Structure 1
Amino acid sequence: MSIVPPGAAGSSSAPAESGVGPLLRGWREQRRVSQLELALRAGSSARHISFVETGRSRPSEEMVLRLAEHLDVPVRERNALLLTAGYAPHYPETPLDDPSMGALREGVERLIQGYEPYPALVVDATYDVLAANRGIAMLLEGVPEHLLVPPLNAMRLTLHPEGLAPRIRNLRAWRDHLLAQMDRQIALRRSKPLRALYEEVAAYPVPDADAEPAGDEEPLGAVPPFALPMRIEHEGRVLSFISSIATFNTPMDVTVAELAVETFLPADPATVKYLHSLAS
């Protein structure tokens, strides 16, 4: 999309089809927020919001940021809105290996290492793995080398027919969960690389039925899952994990905003016992 500044305030020209106004309108409609509701949140008027969206009024830099905040627009997309409105980006995008990120790197690495023996990893906005602990390395045992060439991608490793997919007992259910998660992220971030990754992994072959259909009864004595587990084979055992994803609160940097720490909590006592036996 080309960057075209919106029309000047008070202009009587026809509604613009490019510029920041239509982009803001798209985010508002995606969030299912009315012009009046957005105006009340942002301390403005529905009339002014309407003028901004149609290009009749050029919003200030402060107004763009305020509307983006109340629409929960991702940090990277807030910069895009500012550029389209004719302003400089507000949020930096600092490489993770920059010296200023040293405390962040150390903190995240200590976090996932402290989670051992349970698996944990850190991914970016396109699910490339930036850090992983020994629990993840254990799950990746036996994966072909060509899938382990950096940058590792969590979605590709999980769903590729030569990756973890053949060992995931409830692959169809877990695949549906992952694709739905990616679909939500695409709607939120509107990322072409993420869309390309989605199309790639969605095209991977999938079995007609899971080894353990989602509707099967639990074995006698098993603990019923409290969330959808990933049930995966490892050295003749079936391990069960519940996934949890954590992100940073109120990030002020694009890189930090797109980091996610994913941890895998054992979903049954047998998995807990087995992982601790490996650690000892």
Structure 2
Amino acid sequence: MNYQTSHTSQAFPELLKNWRKKSRFSQLDLALEAGLSQRHVSFLETGRSKPSRYSIQQLGQAMNLPASEVDILMLTAGFAARTSNRNWSEATRTAVNASINHILESHNPYPAVAVDRIWNLQKANSAAGVFFQMLGHDGDPNMLRALLKPGKVRKSLNNWDGKVQSLMRLFELEVARRPNDHEAFELLQELNNLPGASEARNLTTKEDSPPLLTMQFKLGQDDITLFSMITTVGLSNDATIEDIRMETFFPADESTEQWFQQNIALHL
């Protein structure tokens, strides 16, 4: 993501005030949480005081903002964004990449992928490559679009309507956390405009939602049911690192486990 081009047109005082209200903080509560005085927060929101990098970082942490949104606060205040690959030491880059590779490859023969904040594929383990090929994945780098757009992958996904509702709801929540991420908003609009998406989202069901969201695929005569876990870097002030997500898929039943042992493990 290019945070320079995703810069909001709002001035810092207005942006801070909007985030405070969205986070449901009073000026006093935010000041206490950020370790600042209420008067200082008030002056920042009216423009009577100029923020420091430290105060912006404290405010962002207090409101639990994504690192990318803290960077935008920095930019609107006239500072450089904290996120920059140039700030990564070689040791940090090596450690992060090694950790991602370890998680992905250790998960074979089950699929595992690393994606960014809008689910663009960054890395995949060997099992994922084989499995996606068997599903008929056309190489679309965005995993949400690959699942939801018309094509072989969508056709193989059982109960597609229900999955659209769940996946879009999750993505909408993520986009809501990043109101200045224009790329994410544009993807959300694109997904909403996919054939059948709006109809599927408006479907109602009397059935209770299952406790676990599973992905159920049909490959030939075989039914494959997977659930996933998502891993992120624990603490980071860099949006590039914070946005990395590793999604590991697990068999949800014994027949799926046997299918992967028989059909994927042999190809690795």
Pairwise same-fold verdict (TM > 0.5): yes
* Structure 2 unpaired stretches of 5+: none
Once the two structures are superposed, residues 200-257 of structure 1 have per-residue CA deviations (whole angstroms, 9 ceiling, x without a partner) of 1222223878xxx97779xxxxxx9640111111232111111221211111322111
The residue correspondences of 1:48-127 to structure 2 (distance < 5 A) are 48-93=40-85, 101-127=93-119
Q: For residue 113 of structure 2, give the secondary structure of its aligned residue in structure 1.
A: strand
2: CA distance, partners of 1:277 / 1:226:
29
Amino acid at match of 2:235: T
In the alignment, what sits opposite 2:188? Answer: 198
Once the two structures are superposed, residues 60-112 of structure 1 have per-residue CA deviations (whole angstroms, 9 ceiling, x without a partner) of 2211111011111111221221121122223323599x786233222211211
2: CA distance, partners of 1:141 / 1:214:
33
In the alignment, what sits opposite 1:262? Answer: 247
Whether the aligned pair in 2 keeps the contact of 1:246 and 1:261 (CA below 8 Å) is yes
In the alignment, what sits opposite 1:187? Answer: 176
TM-score, normalising length: structure 2: 0.84
> Aligned pair 1:241/2:230, yes or no?
no
Amino acid at match of 1:251: S
Whether the aligned pair in 2 keeps the contact of 1:94 and 1:254 (CA below 8 Å) is no
In the alignment, what sits opposite 2:129? Answer: 137
TM-score, normalising length: structure 1: 0.80
Query: Shift of residue 142 of structure 1?
Result: 4.9
> Aligned pair 1:148/2:148, yes or no?
no
Structure number, greater radius of gyration: 1
- Residue 216 and residue 65 in structure 1: after superposition, are their counterparts in 2 closer, same or farther (change >3 A)? closer
Whether the aligned pair in 1 keeps the contact of 2:136 and 2:153 (CA below 8 Å) is no
* Structure 1 unpaired stretches of 5+: 5-16, 218-223
2: CA distance, partners of 1:194 / 1:244:
22
> Aligned pair 1:33/2:25, yes or no?
yes
Higher RCO (Cα < 8 Å, 6 or more apart):
2
Query: Shift of residue 163 of structure 1?
Result: 4.2
Percent pairwise identity = 28
Amino acid at match of 2:146: L
Q: For residue 23 of structure 1, give the secondary structure of its aligned residue in structure 2.
A: helix
Amino acid at match of 2:49: S
Amino acid at match of 2:158: R
Q: Matched residue pairs, number?
A: 256
The RMSD of aligned alpha carbons is 3.1
Whether the aligned pair in 2 keeps the contact of 1:41 and 1:70 (CA below 8 Å) is yes
In the alignment, what sits opposite 1:11? Answer: none
Once the two structures are superposed, residues 114-169 of structure 1 have per-residue CA deviations (whole angstroms, 9 ceiling, x without a partner) of 11111110001221101112332233225667x316xx111111111114111111
- Residue 163 and residue 25 in structure 1: after superposition, are their counterparts in 2 closer, same or farther (change >3 A)? farther
Worse-superposed segment, 114-123 or 29-38: 29-38
2: CA distance, partners of 1:137 / 1:90:
34
